[in-house]
Amino acid sequence: MNKKLNKRAKVVLLPQRHVQKIDPQRPAAEQIAASLKSAILEMSLKPGQIISETEVGNLYGASRTPVREAFTWLRDQGLIVTLPSRGNYVSKLSISQIEGAQFARASLEVAVAERLCEKGFSPDTLHEIEANLALQQEVVTSGIGAGFTTLDDNFHLALADAVGHPRISDIIQREKSYLDRLRFLSVNNMAHIAELAEDHRNIFDAIRSGDKTAARRLVRQHLHRVRETLSQFCIEQPEYFDDE
């Protein structure tokens, strides 16, 4: 891991949406872990930033035990790392993990598109995706990209669910988790968001028309944009990435 870690940044700078009051009816560790995971994926907690168990406990009004359980879960998810005698840090972005997840996701989503070209969409799925694409266009028109990542996720999961095998969407979601922080880095790039929204429309139209050749090409082109984004941010913000 890159040794240039930020010891000065404080978790108390988290936006309020990530610091919700603990619900006593639910396990505290689960709530703390979910809140911190959201903060990490949305880049409110930066890669390489120190994250103290004591600070987190004070922030959420929780005892040491649930905080340690939350940290163990985050460590298992690869979202934080613990360095002996130095503390806990938000993990840096791994180029190899991102590229591996992108390869797996592209392979699966091309297969999804091919299957849907053969199978077609149900009326309910057609309505769901058309509504999603309309909302994507509203985001592009408004110039405010904050809500686009959810629409992006829902579009791809709607395609996966339409195949009829629940495990497909589970695998896509799992692999996508390695890409989430990279996506949030580009959430304010409206030109990039407009390209993605146009890709989604073109992929949907190709699948609906049953054109496998076009659908394969468009899905690969769409998912290749992640590599372009990765290259861009490796140059612009190298401190967020592992020394790979």
For residue 56, give the CATH number of its domain. 1.10.10.10
3 state SS of 80: strand
Q: Report phi then psi at 47, rounded to 5.
A: -55, 130
d(CA 203, CA 195) in angstroms, rounded, equals 12
Based on the domain organization, do 138 and 173 belong to the same domain?
A: yes
Count of CB atoms situated within 10 Å of the CB of 12: 11
Query: 1 lies in a domain?
Result: no
Domains held by the chain: number: 2
Each residue's pLDDT tens digit, 21-72: 788 889 999 999 999 998 898 888 999 999 989 989 988 889 999 999 999 9
Based on the domain organization, do 100 and 157 belong to the same domain?
A: yes
How many CA atoms does the CB half-sphere of 85 hold within 13 Å?
Answer: 0
Point out the domain boundary residue: 47, 62, 90. Answer: 90
Query: 3 lies in a domain?
Result: no
Q: Which structural domain, as residue segments, surrounds residue 76? A: 11-90
Point out the domain boundary residue: 90, 106, 128. Answer: 90
Query: 165 lies in a domain?
Result: yes
Based on the domain organization, do 57 and 138 belong to the same domain?
A: no
Based on the domain organization, do 70 and 132 belong to the same domain?
A: no
Each residue's pLDDT tens digit, 185-211: 777 789 989 999 999 999 999 999 999
Point out the domain boundary residue: 34, 57, 90. Answer: 90
In this structure, what is the dihedral angle of CA atoms 131, 144, 231, 44, given to the nearest 10 degrees?
-110
Burial class (CB in 10 A: 0-12, 13-18, 19+), 238: exposed
Which sign, positive or negative, has the C-alpha torsion 160, 161, 165, 168?
positive
pLDDT band at 140 (very low <50, low <70, confident <90, very high): very high
d(CA 221, CA 217) in angstroms, rounded, equals 6
pLDDT band at 104 (very low <50, low <70, confident <90, very high): very high
pLDDT for position 225: 86
Ranking 83-97, 101-115, 224-238 by mean pLDDT, the lowest is: 224-238
**What CATH number should be reported for the domain holding residue 218?**
1.20.120.530
Q: Of 35, 1, 3, which is closest to residue 21 (Cα–Cα)? A: 35
- pLDDT(146) > 60: yes
Query: 6 lies in a domain?
Result: no
d(CA 216, CA 235) in angstroms, rounded, equals 30
